Structure 1
Amino acid sequence: MADHLEEQELEAEALAAIFDTAFEIISTSATDEISNHWKISLYPIDTLDEDECLEVNHICCNLIVKLTQNYPEELPNLEIDIIRGLGPEQKETLESIAMEEAEQFLGMPAIYSVCEKIREWLADNNVKGLDDQSMHAQMLRKAREQELKKAQAEKEYESQKIKEELTQAEAEEIAVRKRRAEGTPCNKENFEAWKEKFEKELAEKEANDGDDDTPTDKASKKEAAKRKAEEEEMESRLTGYQLFSEKLGLANFDALEKAAEEAENEEGDIESELNVDDLDVDEDLFDEDEDLDDLDFDSDEDDDDSDEEELDI
């Protein structure tokens, strides 16, 4: 019991913060059967200016709330008090709406939800003449109610359609995630299909890239390709040493150097050991040449001898 009264007190504080002066505590008691008695003024359009409120709000009412000691475990006692623009028929409609909403929140604080439901109805029916009980006015109200019901049905249909689309999209997303998790088995057929698709896309991309190029771009690309080819050719050229080494081999090159050194040494030895007298000369070759007769070989020998004598002196 004490917990219920404390919960009702907290709900009263929340309603006072929300509705401000439109919320009024008529009475409160911890011992009576009716523990709390409240009044809440409800308008289709909230406004602070009183004159503007009367101008824009053609209908309005008070919600009278009576709570028992066991609320919210028990339903509240709800009553509609008409302020302006409403008739007995609308009063019954609003009271029915209020009780249906309270039943949905049984076991929980429900007064705020009830107020919002009533304000929604007031906003949809904020027109003059609802309190007119003439036959003409009643016919107009019924026609309007039918229009409202039709609009509400369309709204619910669109809402349901969106919900179904979202549900379908979620199902497709779940299926996609499942396929990604499981993966696609790779076989010959799948690979061939993928390869064909990939090559087709690659060819289309290359064709599109080629079509988009201007003549200047094509010439620039051609010149760049030519320069690149020349640079690659220059980089791939071998030096003279590399050419010689690759042709003969480094081992052959070393052997050639060694052979050249040995040849030089042998040539020196041969010159030192060479004796003209040991040479086999065919003198007949010189006899046949008449020009050789004019040569004075003896004078040369005499000169050599005189030189040797002078050196001895």
Structure 2
Amino acid sequence: MTDYAEEQRNELEAIESIYPDSFTVLSDEPTSFTITVTSDAGENGETVETTLKFTYVEKYPDEPPLWEIHSQENLEDSDMEDILTLLQQQAEENLGMVMIFTLVTAVQEKLNEIVDVMKNRREEEKRRKEREAEEAEKVAFQGTVVTIENFLAWKAKFELEVAELRRKKQKEEEQAGKPKLTGKQLFERDHNLDTSDIQFLEDAGNNVEVDESLFQDIEDLDLDDDDPDFDPLEMGSDED
């Protein structure tokens, strides 16, 4: 007849010696304890950790112990589900033998795998960002490929911008432009316009030099101003 209590005591002593810094007894009746399992450090020193709680049942190891995740660090929900599934598989494979060390070792390996996955994810994210940067650089260098869709969109936008510019220009011209005034409107604006013109002519006349010798014999000419056929030009031609 199997002495379950004896096997459990012996295993408990062995577990305490293997994990002296992470093993903690919670109760004696039933026997319950925790073991903290930490992964190996990753490339950048990152680790994941879980504290497993085990409780012996009366017929352990012919029946599996009870277990739960007591606490965890840096683990996602999916990781914890994987750990619980792993414990179930290992317990079924090791029925009839004390199995706490085997269960803890399996979880330790799983945590190391999780750290490796974190590393791979980080590296893949880095490569993805590098690819995106390269693609962005190519697009900036090559320009945007013209398709019917983006050409029509550009054309519609361009036509709107041109129409807006024309509207603004027309509005500015209307605001800044002055209507062309008629002569009457100019006169009504400046009542001195007529006298100013006369003054201009007088000022211009003062500056004209007249050769008086051209008119010395004009009184000796027999000019018949009353003759309707009188033509000074013909007289000039006769004298020649």
Provide the TM-score with structure 2 as the length reference: 0.46
Q: Greater helix percent: which structure? A: 1
Q: Of the two structures, which has the highest relative contact order with CA contacts closer than 8 Å and spacing of 6 or more?
A: 2
Provide the TM-score with structure 1 as the length reference: 0.36
Report the structure number with the largest CA radius of gyration. 1
